[in-house]
């Protein structure tokens, strides 16, 4: 499997206003075209956080543990639509209530994203899709013990330490 480099993404300003469009390939080739993404942190009622394992074939951060749900907002889609679609595609969950935590610009050497980060509490069944290399709930102490050890994606670590640490 590979990512579809021709998939169309909206290009936005730092407030989320759409200013244009570009392909996934153009957004991930170092152009730094700002494009919106959604993150959903799925907690269970015990306070554990579900993390997904990125497959080895991903073009960015293969094999690392990452945010429960993360994905791009497609052209013509709202943030909420993307959140529901990605949660369904990645974890097979649909009946949840997202709470917006924050939005921020994340920049790596390859790309620049406007991240809309949400959380939810969900105790129903989770079935990771074939797009993932699995996933599990982590006690927050176990996550803290593994920070900085190349276990998680840098984006997840940043979000965990700045947004989720007080959860």
Give the architecture (CATH level 2) of 8-164: Alpha-Beta Complex (3.90)
pLDDT in tens, 74-92: 999 999 999 999 999 999 9
- SS3 of residue 87 by DSSP: helix
Backbone phi, psi, residue 148, to 5°: 75, 10
Taking the domains of the chain in order of start, what are their residue ranges?
8-164
Predicted TM-score of the model (pTM) = 0.90
| pLDDT, tens digit (0-9, with 9 covering 90-100), for 132-149 | 999 999 999 999 999 999
Pairing of strands 49-53, 135-138: antiparallel
Structure-token match 């330490």, residue found: 161
């Amino acid at each position: 499997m590979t990512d579809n480099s021709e998939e169309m993404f909206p290009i936005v300003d730092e407030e989320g206003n759409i200013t244009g469009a570009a392909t996934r390939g153009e957004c991930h080739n170092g152009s730094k075209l700002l494009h919106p993404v959604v993150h959903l942190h799925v907690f269970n009622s015990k306070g554990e956080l579900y993390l997904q394992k990125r497959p080895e074939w991903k073009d960015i951060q293969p094999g690392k543990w990452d945010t429960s749900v993360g994905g791009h907002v497609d052209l013509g889609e709202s943030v909420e639509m993307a959140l529901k679609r990605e949660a369904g595609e990645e974890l097979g969950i649909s009946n949840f209530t997202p709470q917006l935590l924050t939005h921020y610009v994340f920049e790596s050497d390859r790309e620049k994203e406007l991240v809309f980060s949400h959380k939810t509490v969900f105790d129903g069944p989770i079935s990771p899709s074939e797009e993932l290399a699995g996933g599990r709930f982590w006690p927050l102490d176990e996550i803290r013990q593994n920070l900085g050890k190349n276990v998680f994606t840098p984006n997840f670590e940043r979000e965990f330490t700045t947004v989720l640490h007080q959860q």
